[in-house]
Structure 1
Amino acid sequence: MPAVFYALSLTQVSQQALVQGRPSLPLQWHQPQDLHLTLAFIPDASCDELKVLDESLPLLTADVGDYLEIASLDRWQHPQGAEHWVARCAMAPWIESLYTRVRTLCEAQGVGTDSHHGFLPHVTLGWSHGPVSVNREVSAELSEVWLTKVTTVCFSGIGLYERDPDQRSGRYRARQWQPVKTNPADLVE
């Protein structure tokens, strides 16, 4: 089975805000519709286990908060060498609680979760095959774009996602998705 993950999908307004004004860097930028906040990565689960996890998704929607504040723009080195560029979000009580509920649901089914960084809520903006050199001007531009103009991300739903098997582009598709309460003004520009 393909690896799957629980994630919060972003509203269209949040997606567009994060992609506007991206600097020219040699990164593989995620498309707006692929931006998400990963809650738990599930590297290996059987079809039966995934079916139970799919069915449990509605139990999690009430725990989703309205938004998270963006704390910083970070680069994380993946153990296999890739560099991930992320908008790291500030920890909030509701996101810690939701993360705990997701892990508890997985553990109750005997399904393990994996994280390279522990749980730090973040939205991956793009990645590169190795380290990217950034000069002061680009660094200032990054701070200006994401840390002053985009201060929060809002969520439209929670889902169990997998990499789309029909594409090699890094796109994801929802196996199961549930909308969450949100401010209608956040859904469209």
Structure 2
Amino acid sequence: MLKGAIAQRYAQALFELAVQENLDGIEAELQELVQCVEQNAEVAHVLYHPHISLSEKKDLMNKIFAGELSVTVRNFLNLLIDRRRQNYLLEIARVFARLADEARNIVEAKVASAIPLSETQEQRLHQELARMTGKNVRMVKEVRPELIGGVMIQIGDRVMDGTVAFKLQRIRQSLSHA
């Protein structure tokens, strides 16, 4: 089975449980768990090492996260370990966050510009994106000088490229085909 499909299935199951219990809390704990695994090589080693037994992994993870994670998230982690799916944790967390955003009617817009946007530009862009999508928008901004000028926006699979670099590329292409 594909990694994305596995992550989707587990994330969906946790999401459905989280909606019944505490979506915000479980999402925060899942992010905390992922952050700990990403930033702590010893925790990652224990979780991912193939020669550490499943029971040892569960015991160590339960000790590490005893006061940090709810029973729901600890049980979910134990389930992943039991089913040997702990390697999918990061992808599961990413899919879970997307599902939570969808439930909250939030869309993420990645905005790249050559220079930082002014406060006014950000507000206008935010309002326009909210109007276009009909959703609450979370903007993730990135400065990329190679864009020369303008803005490139990505929302899901959709990309709107209004950068000078893109326009120059199109001019080059049209001149080379002429």
Decide which structure has greater strand share.
1
**TM-score, normalised relative to structure 1:** 0.26
For the pair shown, the structure with the greater C-alpha radius of gyration is 2
**TM-score, normalised relative to structure 2:** 0.28
